[in-house]
Amino acid sequence: MAKLISKDKLDDLLSRLKEQEKYEVFAPVEVDGVTLYQHINKVPSLEFTNSNKPPKDLFFPQTETMFQLERDDKVFVGTKDIETSSDPILVLGMRPCDSRAMLILDKLFYWDYVDPYYKDRRDRTTIISFTCTLPNMPKESCFCTSMGGAPDSNEGADMLWTDMGDVYYVESLTDKGNKLLELGGNLFTDSDQAHDSKVAEIKVNAKKAISRKLDTNGVKEALEKSFESDYWDEFAARCLGCGICTLLCPTCHCFDIYDVISNGEGRRERTWDSCQYSHYTAHASGHNPRPEKKHRQRNRIYHKFLYMENNLDIIGCVGCGRCISGCPVNIDIIEVAEGIKEAEGIKEAEGIKEAKND
């Protein structure tokens, strides 16, 4: 049965979670017009669209120390694990596209080798996803329904909350979610049929509000035969190579590793990287297999719609639209994916086939 929690009880819930289980709580916080996930001690205003930066850095930080280097006099002789917290983590207010993105990151970081740094944070985290509700969401650039998601998708979340004005409609999805209900106790009250009906209406209206569409049928097939196509010159010509499309993406996961020596102390760090940077594939010999922007833009699209589907049986895009709204030269991933079908005649062929079937 769904529950309700009054918005004026959220700080009480936060206090209980911290006192009873020492939860570290993160939520979207707006600072100078930019919304980011930050550690909170008091619930902020949750009237937000979506965070500018995806919450993936709570599990896969932009920069993190993997281990420290031990030294004997002036010689580094070994490694030392860094101290990490064992406290549970709560993410309050993740959008459904971002919680779905966590399932993609799970497949990546648990693929042929389980990443212990990611797994530690993921195992300790409970995710409360917020249904996208009008008027704040969905945004004009959202296209989650084209990628198998929805404004009320519960994939990757432990709870799904829907804003109903003075209260949140609470759906628990996992044991982690049930535990929060137990800890919250009487702060949660039972829902009724009127609330159930209203929430169903809210969810339907949110889905109707998504205007942008991407027909993924045929994209993979077009990519399989367009590696050397002149099409990649067309849209890559205006790319600046800034990498914002990958840094704002909730599923991009490229990183580099450095050994950092400072004041006689050493540590190994990994830091987000981007396939859009010219040095990303540069070899020590000086050779670069992706020397031009078109090669790097092509790789991004191939990775999302071909390589990940071949390797992991999943498309590497959740339709959050951040790469669209964040691109300074208005490169649109929907137009790029649809364009490659047109360039390879996939759309025309599909139309002929449909006409014959009719």
Helix (H, G, I), strand (E, B) or coil at 238: coil
pLDDT number for residue 356: 39
Among 121, 106, 195, CA closest to 155 = 106
- Using pLDDT thresholds of 50, 70 and 90, give the confidence band for residue 8: very high
Instruction: List the one residue out of 173, 174, 172, 161 whose CA is nearest residue 202.
Output: 161
The rounded percent of the chain whose pLDDT value lies above 70 is: 96
Residue 254 burial (C-beta neighbours within 10 Å; 0-12, 13-18, 19+)? middle
pLDDT surpassing 50 at residue 355: no
Q: pLDDT, tens digit, for every residue of 191-240?
A: 999 999 999 999 999 999 999 999 999 999 999 999 999 999 988 888 99
Mean pLDDT, rounded, of the chain = 92
CA 297, CA 218: separation in Å to the nearest integer? 19
pLDDT at position 304, please? 96
Q: Which of 26-30, 79-83, 170-174, 242-246 has the lowest mean pLDDT?
A: 79-83
Residue 43: per-residue pLDDT: 94
More confident call, 274 vs 347: 274
Residue 225 has a pLDDT of: 92
The answer to whether the CB of 37 falls within 8 A of the CB of 26 is yes
Delimit the domains of the chain by residue range: 3-208, 219-357
The pLDDT value recorded for residue 241 is 92
Amino acid letter, 326: G
Q: How confident is residue 325, by pLDDT bands cut at 50, 70 and 90?
A: very high
What tens digit of pLDDT does each residue of 141-170 get?
A: 999 999 999 999 999 999 999 999 999 999
Mind listing the pLDDT tens digit for each residue in 99-143? Answer: 999 999 999 999 889 999 999 999 999 999 999 999 989 999 999
* pTM, 2 dp: 0.91
Q: Judge whether 36 and 62 are in contact, CB under 8 Å.
A: no
User: What gap in Å lies between CA 216 and CA 153, rounded to an integer?
Assistant: 19
State the CB neighbour count (10 A cutoff) for residue 41.
9
The torsion angle over the Cα atoms of residues 301, 302, 304 and 307, rounded to 10 degrees, is -170
The pLDDT of residue 70: 84
pLDDT score, position 346: 62
CA dist., res. 279 & res. 259, Å (int):
18
354: pLDDT strictly greater than 60: no
Neighbouring CB atoms inside 10 A of 77's CB total 9
Q: What is the pLDDT of residue 3?
A: 97
What is the H or E stretch that residue 269 is in?
strand 265-272
DSSP alpha helices (H): ranges in 69-132? 96-109, 116-124
Average pLDDT of the segment spanning 63-71:
90
DSSP 303: I
Reply yes or no on whether the pLDDT at 348 is more than 60.
no
Residues 246, 63, 264, 74, CA torsion sign: negative
pLDDT at position 263 is 78
Tokens of 58: 């709570």
Backbone angles phi, psi at 147, to 5 degrees: -105, 15
Residue 347 pLDDT level (bands cut at 50, 70, 90): low
Sequence-ordered list of residues with C-beta below 8 angstroms from that of 8, at least 6 positions apart, any chain: none
Tell me which of 183-192, 258-267, 284-293 is least confident: 258-267
CB-CB contact of 1 with 190 (8 Å): yes
Sheet holding 3-6, edge to edge: 34-39, 24-31, 89-94, 125-130, 159-163, 167-172, 3-6, 189-190
Q: Is the dihedral of CA 92, 97, 103, 105 positive or negative?
A: negative
CA distance 338 to 335: 5
Mean pLDDT of 89-93: 97
DSSP state of 307: I
